[in-house]
Amino acid sequence: MGPVTILDYGAGNLTSVRLACQRFGVEPRMATCAAEALGEGALIFPGDGSAKSAMAAVKARGYDSLLRKAREEGRPILGICIGMQLLFDGSEEDGGVQALGMLPGQVRRFSFPQDPALKIPEMGWNGVHFRQKHPLFRGIPQDTPFYFVHSYYCDPAAEALRLGTTEYGGTHFCSVAGRDSLVATQFHPERSGEWGLALFRNFLEWNGKEEE
């Protein structure tokens, strides 16, 4: 396991992410701006909150350029929750937000006109179906439940980006996306117990190559 940097941009409590890394003997660097995350090693891009405020903070701290450069260099990158959503072209949240454009596709709000009583946000445990083989999933059973809290979901423009999917209210959405050295989860692995920690371990051991 190499060095790891967690990108702090004021969008959520990062303590559980840091503790997940420490569980495997990795002491992550906590960056508050792009200059503190330069160099080598993996990047973790977590977050909670709204797309507009989160994207503004990402730009203000220079993480937009950092993430694009890191991907060009093949550094492993893990996006979590709003960190996943901001990797796409844009989001319907807050009247429309232009995001990082590192993965083609849009972020859409759940809509259940056939069942208005269905709760939004989705909050709780739900299974993830692995659609492709990936080092991130090593040793984790198919359809393992992980912990979700979200009102919006990612809709990739290419099927190849859908590494994992989840069903909620009849909508089969992308819950794990990725390409090259970039992977992202809509769920919170740091809040997902044993198998969430297993996913963290797999990421920490990953060299950024899609092949195992």
Residues identified as active-site: 81, 188, 190
Peptide bond into 46 cis (omega under 30): no
DSSP label of 57: H
Our CA dihedral for 32, 36, 42, 44, rounded to 10 degrees, sits at 0
d(CA 139, CA 142): 9
- Chain mean position to CA 153: 11
Residues in CB range of 18: below 8 A, 6 or more apart:
6, 28, 30
Q: How far is CA 204 from CA 28, 126, 130, in A?
A: 11, 24, 19
DSSP secondary structure of 148-198: EEESEEEEESSGGGEEEEEEETTEEEEEEEEETTEEEESS-GGGSHHHHHH
The structure tokens 């960190």 sit at 83
Contact between 177 and 84 (Cβ < 8 Å)? yes
